[in-house]
Amino acid sequence: MAQRFQTYAEFWPFYLREHAKPSTRTIHYAGTIGSAAFLVWAIATQNWWWLLAVPVFGYGPAWFSHFFVEKNKPATFEAPLWSLISDYRMCGLFLTGRLGDELTRHQIRH
């Protein structure tokens, strides 16, 4: 995958297509928001053991959705940084009501 995409701008539409099903995206939102909440909680309480929950809640639901809902391989395995950025980007676009326009722009049914 890393060889197929020279830039993040090329990767982003691929990432969206890999998350074409609304249920996959919903599970990702829950994981992304949950992992961010655990990160904030760890910082707020200065109990660094909570940091262990960040990747579990971030990647666990996301990988579940790929294997059992979308039935594809998570992009994280081959492009971890771009995938992480894209998880937060997709969630942010969803939370601000702009994801639909982005999906339409890349010709992804939603």
Task: Tell me the pLDDT tens digit for each residue of 90-106.
Answer: 999 999 999 999 999 99
Digit-coded pLDDT (tens) for 76-91: 988 999 999 999 999 9
Residue 79: both structure tokens together: 């492009």
pTM, two decimal places: 0.90
Structure tokens at 95: 């939370």
Long-range (24+ apart) CB contacts under 8 A made by 89-93 are 89/12, 90/15, 90/16, 90/19, 90/25, 90/28, 90/29, 90/32, 91/28, 91/29, 91/32, 91/33
